[in-house]
């Protein structure tokens, strides 16, 4: 029988299931095999062909063709199925007494996301959201640069996440890719956007928007952000630029060696007597950053939170905040104008 | 006495003035000295300090401290002053019987731009607009790739023009940088945008927006375009990506050797039986492109148009189309919603 | 009891041991778990601390602290220990009736390498050498470009393999890194160098040369090659440039997307009437190359050769040829002059 | 009549001739027009077609078809003709009382170089050698990094200067390209190489070596250097890497923004208890370096040295030192073994 008590789990070791064994689920399966505290890994997929391939790659793990059955055996479930099924599977897991980590986004509507968060609260089980970048040491460094004041007053964040594919067939590119960038910006500033506008168009796909651009405003810190996402670009781009009054920093997740670069550059007015802009062009620094695969850090955090009760950085509230921003972007897209999140945010804060 | 007859000019050689001897005007001065058909180059600037520096760099050219005076001597005038003065100087030149090439944008309002175009029409003098990229062999190649059908049906154009500075003090970053990209896209498709939305915010400057993003739609060809411009970015970016159903092409103006790269990549639906996306990942080609400094090509075209009467690619109508798009972007920015250009476009077409 | 008959092995599955569980041995362990035909993987290392870490990363594999003991259980052995022990362990394996794949170099002297090759011949067991790049699809493409004549007559190969570290303590940088490049060039042309000169100096290490440059000549095809290797460079470089009379090709193993680039560039004399060089600057192509981890391909080949008796590309003779070139380089280094391999090569060809 | 007195020249302004109006001579012509103290620029070439093109590009300068004639008019002569004519033209200029700056190399034999240096000494005229990189602010920064001790003890310099072309028809690639790198390394350390070995092969050209690699040793500072030059490479590379015990620095002359990068990386032995290498991987810094076209700085220095009598960095002795190294490389190439420069160096020091 499954136990949910941390101490017992620590002794016995957890059985962790992964629902959905596609590209990303397969990464969880690989990583989980080396996470301390995991006694057993179970691959779960309805598609028997995918399951067979999974076994070929990971001959030492168990499998199941049904989440319902698996929920009777696992202590914890990672959900890497299509986005539209995240919330219902999370509810099923929590109702079965199983700790749960849905991949991003937590849900595809605010109502669903809220339901999952509230259910987790009431059961006392761990709910963690798969915002990988909150477990990325380069993002931690970017946050340090901001919070230490080294970049000066922050003006703007510009994020781009582009590639050819992978198209989803249940959500558009905003719901698929923007959760990463929204969770990054929220995390960098411990804040949430207050106004969002979105533009998106479908091209290669008949209905689903494959190119989009979001503009966000964070009113408490007076920071603007732009998020450019695409399934239809020849370059693979994963880049976040933070522009401050003193310095600018770039997080390039495609770089192996220089994930963070800090530019000692800026412009100031009121310095030159003639009112013209005074530019400062200093050097560029790429600090050394010890790097560990973020998914490994994330999965270890999930197990540790289950065992110790420690709240993870990307908890349910963090997942809900991202879903709220996505829903507002969707609404802006349909209305053709900016959408305000303030009221909703207040309600959530109260809830 | 000045002549405006092409044949006479061809024999005698032109005297060409450059009003405004800052960074860009100085480039015209350098280039003009090697343009066939130019007999004399005159630097014009009110600021005597700038004029002195200009003479030091170009010891063999003449100077003038006043446009009025210079207009009595020159056959043609290039206007490289701040944008808000382009139209009035162009009018002065045309009224003085002088051929004129204002730098982009042609004017800072549609009314002014129209006035300049109409005046040029009535005088028969050459009016050309300094859309440098229409004289860039890499842009010609991009246009060939599109018009030959090699890229397939065009879905989208994504343009980025970023750097730290140079801030202007009479117009925001949209009016300063977006003319390049609008003129490029208009030129690539021989078309004009029908709907524009804009987002922009001021950061380092108190009033003038230094970061902006425009979304355009070209309804006749059903192409969307996004233009990202910034005076406040650590990277110097000058890039136009064209996404077609068959291939994708990137024009990178910062690259010395591979200004155009063609990606044989794409996605198709309806190919795989299970309805999933079928991706095509082919090779990448960088065609060799003989390159000549576009400003040289542009200035030669200006002189040739004066001598032969040949209509230049970036004529007054082309300049007016760009100003109309900029004005619509400005309007969208103030209203917070997309702005339609169709009616205006029709009026102009009639005019 | 161990069987060495291929058919039986195919039915039962092989038990494969990996001697030496450092960085590279650990990669073999990871890969072997997914190789078809492998029933069991055994990690072998004298260092119990390393063995414990190995188990943590690969909880489902067996271990052994002694090669002698392991040789009683395994069907095949991969040797990833320090270079100076490769030959003696290979001999031990072959004498125990175990198929063997030493990592490069096969041995640290020609005599030892020859002994291993002869022993394998007499036992009929598989001897394969871990020249990973012969299992790299980008190298295959480079070979196709050469052998199809697309590059024209080949003039020269320039190879660079640079990084900070990893210093070995039993051999210098030539013996550590140059085997890769020598095996690549030999493989590209199905040939062996006939003259070698080497230059190398020790810097950070007291005795072992950490920077070196080899110049090779392949007389049958009249191709020169230069190999630059370093343990002491700030950049990680893994690049092979092949220069032909018609085109030039670059294999950049650090590139994710464009491992092979083909430059349609060249120079010809006797074309221009005035005797000057005629340059050809055409386009650049990056063909799409499906890529699979070369170590996986290599380990699969090892297993397949054991089961089917198929001779692998990097067989013992290939390993011996590389050792001969390394020994000649070492000799050139000590003598300060080029060293001829022809006689030795003939002897080996006869043997 | 020509004056050679500095003060008079300063008042009147110099007439400077450029002999040889090919690619590089043409750059001198462009630059000289903006050098303070230059009153007149004269283009000198025997080829009337080249002279006509020169006039088209630089309509305001004078021309001459004969060096002899020109020497009667100019105060100073820059020699940008083929290398084999540098020395004889320099002698002619000095004998005519004309200050002279031959492009690199100063001569194509040590005897000739020595003759030019001695003649300049006896006449008191300025002899400067066109080692452009000694006037490059990035090289100055590299020298500061070395001389300040920031890089620690210097181990090695690795230089690469590769491209397709431009083939010369009077000297091989060593005499054409290596002068740059030899002059850089000599300048960085205020030293001269004591031993040189060279390897080179002709490929596209029948006789002239188009690929070469030099290894140099500087015994007074115990630094080794490797110089790789090629007329036959698909990439344009202009890079100097300096490896020190504390840090490593790279000068990349192809980079626009980050010409110098400093890597806080290294390896040490004797730190780890087990005798293994201890690696240090710190950050990377790209200092901001104000950059001015080195040729402009060089030509200004030439004029200033003429007027003030100030000894320029790249004086005749500096030019002679480079020629001596080139001649030793040539000798090594012919002999197939390293060549010692010590004795020769002493003789020169005495001379």
Confidence of residue D344 (pLDDT cuts 50, 70, 90): low
**Chain C touching partners, 3 or more CB pairs below 8 A:** A, B, D
* Among chain C residues, CA nearest to A54: C34
Q: Does A256 touch chain D (CB under 8 A)?
A: no
Q: Quick check: is D322 in a domain?
A: no
Q: Does C121 touch chain B (CB under 8 A)?
A: no
Same domain? A195 vs A150: yes
**DSSP reduced 3-state for D233:** strand
Same domain? B176 vs B119: no
Q: Does D236 touch chain B (CB under 8 A)?
A: yes
First and final CA of chain A: distance in angstroms? 34
The encoded tokens of residue A351 equal 């809830």
The encoded tokens of residue C334 equal 């000590």
Which of these, D169, D142, D126, lies nearest to D22 by C-alpha position? Answer: D169
Same domain? C128 vs C144: no
Cβ-defined contact of A226 to B245 (cutoff 8 Å): no
Same domain? A69 vs A152: no
pLDDT of residue A4: 55
CB of C211 closer than 8 Å to CB of D156? yes
* Among chain A residues, CA nearest to C57: A34
- Contact residues on chain A for C33, CB-CB shorter than 8 A: 58-60
In sequence order, the 6+-apart residues with CB closer than 8 A to the CB of B1 are none
Mean pLDDT of D120-146: 98
Same domain? C141 vs C287: yes
Which of these, A118, A194, A172, A112, lies nearest to A330 by C-alpha position? Answer: A172
Nearest to B285 among C257, C281, C283 (CB): C283
Task: Render pLDDT for B163-205 as a digit per residue (tens, 0 to 9).
Answer: 998 999 999 999 999 999 999 999 999 999 999 999 999 999 9
- HSE at residue C8, side-chain half, CA atoms within 13 A, is 7
CB of A259 closer than 8 Å to CB of A250? no
The encoded tokens of residue C84 equal 């100076």
Strand partners, B244: B154
Confidence of residue C343 (pLDDT cuts 50, 70, 90): low
Does the pLDDT of residue D3 top 70, yes or no? no
* Among chain C residues, CA nearest to B287: C283
- DSSP label of C83: G
pLDDT of residue B295: 98
Q: Quick check: is A52 in a domain?
A: yes
Does the pLDDT of residue A178 top 70, yes or no? yes
Q: Does B235 touch chain D (CB under 8 A)?
A: no
pLDDT of residue A98: 98
A42: CATH: 3.40.50.720
Instruction: Count other Cβ atoms within 10 Å, centred on residue B253.
Output: 18
Query: Do strands C223-230 and A76-79 pair parallel, antiparallel, or not at all (unpaired)?
Result: unpaired
Q: Does C280 touch chain B (CB under 8 A)?
A: no
Q: Does D340 touch chain C (CB under 8 A)?
A: no
Question: CA dihedral in degrees (D77, D81, D82, D85; nearest 10)?
Answer: -50
Mean pLDDT of D25-50: 94
Average pLDDT score, chain A: 94
The encoded tokens of residue C266 equal 């060249």
DSSP D61-101: SEEES-HHHHHTT-SEEEE-S-GGGHHHHHHHHHHTT-EEE
Does the pLDDT of residue D4 top 90, yes or no? no
Same domain? A44 vs A190: no
Q: What is the C-alpha to C-alpha distance for residues D163 and D203, in angstroms, rounded to an integer?
A: 14
Taking every pair of Cα atoms in chain A, the longest distance, rounded to a whole number of angstroms, is: 78
Interface test with D, best of C163, C204, C247, C248 (most D CBs within 10 A): C204
Helix axes A294-308, A23-32, angle to 10 degrees: 60
* Among chain D residues, CA nearest to A288: D283
Q: What is the C-alpha to C-alpha distance for residues D294 and D315, in angstroms, rounded to an integer?
A: 16
Mean pLDDT of C156-166: 96
Task: Render pLDDT for C246-299 as a digit per residue (tens, 0 to 9).
Answer: 999 999 999 988 999 999 999 999 888 888 899 999 999 999 999 999 999 999
Q: Quick check: is B165 in a domain?
A: yes
Residue listed under structure tokens 């996986």: C296
Same domain? D29 vs D105: yes
- Contact residues on chain C for D337, CB-CB shorter than 8 A: 336-337
Q: Quick check: is A84 in a domain?
A: yes
C149 burial via Cβ count (<10 Å: 0-12, 13-18, 19+): exposed
Interface test with B, best of C250, C261, C280, C286 (most B CBs within 10 A): C286
Mean pLDDT of B114-119: 98
Same domain? A217 vs A142: yes
Q: Where are the beta strands (DSSP E) in D109-169?
A: 154-164
Nearest to D241 among C233, C243, C279 (CB): C233
Same domain? A306 vs A245: no
Q: Where are the beta strands (DSSP E) in chain C?
A: 14-19, 38-44, 62-64, 76-79, 99-102, 154-164, 195-201, 211-218, 223-230, 232-244, 248-252, 260-268, 278-286, 339-340
In sequence order, the 6+-apart residues with CB closer than 8 A to the CB of A12 are A3, A39
pLDDT of residue D343: 54
Q: What is the C-alpha to C-alpha distance for residues C240 and C257, in angstroms, rounded to an integer?
A: 16
Mean pLDDT of B130-143: 98
Query: Do strands C14-19 and C76-79 pair parallel, antiparallel, or not at all (unpaired)?
Result: parallel
Q: Quick check: is D324 in a domain?
A: no
Q: What percent of chain D has pLDDT over 90?
A: 88
Cβ-defined contact of C155 to D234 (cutoff 8 Å): no
pLDDT of residue A1: 39
Q: Does C46 touch chain D (CB under 8 A)?
A: no
First and final CA of chain B: distance in angstroms? 34
Q: What is the C-alpha to C-alpha distance for residues A156 and D87, in angstroms, rounded to an integer?
A: 60
Same domain? C156 vs C272: yes
pTM of the model: 0.94
Q: What share of chain C is helix, strand, coil (3-state, %, to 5)?
A: 40, 30, 35
C74 burial via Cβ count (<10 Å: 0-12, 13-18, 19+): buried
**Strand ranges of the sheet holding C76-79, from the earlier edge strand across to the other edge:** C62-64, C38-44, C14-19, C76-79, C99-102
Residue listed under structure tokens 């599977």: A89
Confidence of residue A345 (pLDDT cuts 50, 70, 90): very low
Work out how many domains chain D is built from and give that number: 2
* Among chain B residues, CA nearest to C260: B283
* Residue A343 or residue C121, greater confidence: C121
Does the pLDDT of residue B102 top 90, yes or no? yes
Q: Quick check: is D262 in a domain?
A: yes
CB of C100 closer than 8 Å to CB of C126? yes
Q: Quick check: is C324 in a domain?
A: no
Q: Quick check: is A324 in a domain?
A: no
Q: What is the CA radius of gyration of chain A?
A: 21
Q: What percent of chain A has pLDDT over 70?
A: 95
pLDDT of residue D345: 45
Give the distance from CA D97 to its chain's centroid: 24
Mean pLDDT of B8-37: 92
Q: Does D57 touch chain B (CB under 8 A)?
A: yes
**Chain B touching partners, 3 or more CB pairs below 8 A:** A, C, D
pLDDT of residue C346: 37
- DSSP label of D47: -
pLDDT of residue B348: 39
The encoded tokens of residue D78 equal 């820059």
In sequence order, the 6+-apart residues with CB closer than 8 A to the CB of B205 are A269, A277, B167
**Chain A touching partners, 3 or more CB pairs below 8 A:** B, C, D
Q: What is the C-alpha to C-alpha distance for residues D213 and A213, in angstroms, rounded to an integer?
A: 51
Confidence of residue C1 (pLDDT cuts 50, 70, 90): very low
Does the pLDDT of residue D319 top 50, yes or no? yes
Does the pLDDT of residue B347 top 90, yes or no? no
Mean pLDDT of D4-19: 84
* Among chain A residues, CA nearest to B337: A337
Residue C181: cis peptide before it, omega within 30 degrees of 0: no
Q: Does D57 touch chain C (CB under 8 A)?
A: no
Number of helices (H) and strands (E) in chain D: give both, helices first: 11, 14
Q: Does B288 touch chain C (CB under 8 A)?
A: yes
Cβ-defined contact of C234 to D213 (cutoff 8 Å): no
Mean pLDDT of C117-137: 98
Work out the minimum CA distance from D34 to partner chain B, whole angstroms.
Answer: 5
pLDDT of residue B89: 98
- Contact residues on chain C for B288, CB-CB shorter than 8 A: 264, 281-283
Q: What is the C-alpha to C-alpha distance for residues A216 and A197, in angstroms, rounded to an integer?
A: 7
The angle at the Cα of C33, spanning C28 to C38, to the nearest 5 degrees, equals 100
Helix axes B294-308, B23-32, angle to 10 degrees: 60
Residue listed under structure tokens 């709240």: A311
Confidence of residue B274 (pLDDT cuts 50, 70, 90): confident
Instruction: Count other Cβ atoms within 10 Å, centred on residue D1.
Output: 3
- Contact residues on chain C for A236, CB-CB shorter than 8 A: 257
Does the pLDDT of residue C6 top 90, yes or no? no
Task: Render pLDDT for A127-172 as a digit per residue (tens, 0 to 9).
Answer: 999 999 999 999 999 999 999 999 999 999 999 999 998 999 999 9
Residue A166: cis peptide before it, omega within 30 degrees of 0: yes
- Contact residues on chain C for A39, CB-CB shorter than 8 A: none
Task: Look at A140-154, B110-124, B333-347, D85-99 and tell me which has the smallest mean pLDDT.
Answer: B333-347
Same domain? B34 vs B153: no
Q: What is the C-alpha to C-alpha distance for residues C122 and C117, in angstroms, rounded to an integer?
A: 9
Same domain? D18 vs D54: yes
Nearest to A56 among C34, C58, C257 (CB): C34
- Contact residues on chain C for B285, CB-CB shorter than 8 A: 283-286
Confidence of residue A57 (pLDDT cuts 50, 70, 90): confident
Average pLDDT score, chain C: 94
Work out the minimum CA distance from A290 to partner chain D, whole angstroms.
Answer: 9
Residue D105: cis peptide before it, omega within 30 degrees of 0: yes
Which of these, C309, C298, C300, lies nearest to C126 by C-alpha position? Answer: C309
In sequence order, the 6+-apart residues with CB closer than 8 A to the CB of B16 are B32, B35, B38, B40, B41, B42, B74, B75, B76, B77, B78, B303
Task: Render pLDDT for C294-330 as a digit per residue (tens, 0 to 9).
Answer: 999 999 999 999 999 999 999 999 999 999 999 999 9
Does the pLDDT of residue A254 top 50, yes or no? yes
Residue listed under structure tokens 């810097």: C203
Nearest to D288 among A257, A283, A287 (CB): A283
Most confident of A341-345, C345-349, D167-171: D167-171
Mean pLDDT of C28-51: 94
Using the Cα atoms of residue B114, residue B116, residue B119 and residue B124 in order, give the sign of their dihedral: negative
Q: What is the C-alpha to C-alpha distance for residues C62 and D9, in angstroms, rounded to an integer?
A: 87
Residue listed under structure tokens 């940008």: D80
First and final CA of chain C: distance in angstroms? 35
Does the pLDDT of residue B1 top 50, yes or no? no
Task: Render pLDDT for A288-321 as a digit per residue (tens, 0 to 9).
Answer: 999 999 999 999 999 999 999 999 999 999 999 9
Domain assignment of residue A306, given as a range = 9-132+295-317
């Amino acid at each position: 029988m499954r136990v949910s008590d941390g101490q017992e789990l620590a002794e016995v070791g957890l059985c962790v299931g992964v629902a959905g064994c596609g590209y990303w689920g397969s990464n969880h399966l690989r990583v989980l095999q080396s996470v301390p505290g995991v006694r057993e890994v179970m691959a779960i997929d309805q598609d028997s062909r995918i399951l067979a391939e999974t076994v070929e790659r990971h001959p030492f793990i168990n499998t199941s063709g049904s989440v319902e059955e698996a929920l009777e055996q696992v202590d914890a479930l990672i959900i890497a199925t299509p986005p539209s099924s995240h919330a219902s599977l999370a509810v099923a897991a929590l109702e079965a007494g199983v700790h749960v980590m849905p991949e991003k986004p937590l849900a595809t509507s605010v109502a669903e996301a809220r339901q999952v968060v509230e259910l987790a609260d009431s059961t006392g089980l761990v709910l963690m959201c798969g915002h990988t970048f909150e477990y990325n040491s380069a993002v931690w460094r970017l946050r340090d640069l901001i919070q230490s004041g080294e970049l000066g007053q922050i003006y703007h964040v510009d994020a781009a996440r582009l590639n050819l594919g992978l198209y989803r067939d249940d959500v558009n590119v905003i719901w698929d890719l923007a959760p990463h960038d929204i969770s990054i910006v929220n995390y960098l500033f411990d804040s949430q956007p207050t106004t969002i506008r979105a533009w998106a168009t479908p091209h290669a796909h008949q209905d689903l928007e494959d190119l989009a651009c979001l503009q966000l405003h964070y009113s408490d810190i007076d920071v603007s952000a732009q998020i450019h996402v695409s399934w239809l670009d020849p370059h693979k781009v994963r880049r976040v630029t933070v522009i401050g009054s003193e310095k600018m920093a770039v997080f390039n997740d495609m770089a192996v060696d220089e994930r963070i670069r800090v530019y000692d550059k800026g412009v100031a007015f009121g310095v030159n007597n003639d009112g013209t802009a005074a530019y400062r062009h200093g050097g560029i620094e790429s600090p050394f950053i010890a790097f560990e695969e973020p998914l490994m850090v994330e999965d270890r955090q999930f197990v540790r939170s289950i065992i110790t009760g420690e709240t993870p950085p990307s908890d349910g509230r963090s997942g809900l905040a991202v879903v709220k921003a996505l829903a507002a972007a969707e609404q802006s897209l349909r209305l053709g104008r900016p959408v305000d999140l303030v009221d909703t945010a207040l309600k959530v804060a109260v809830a």
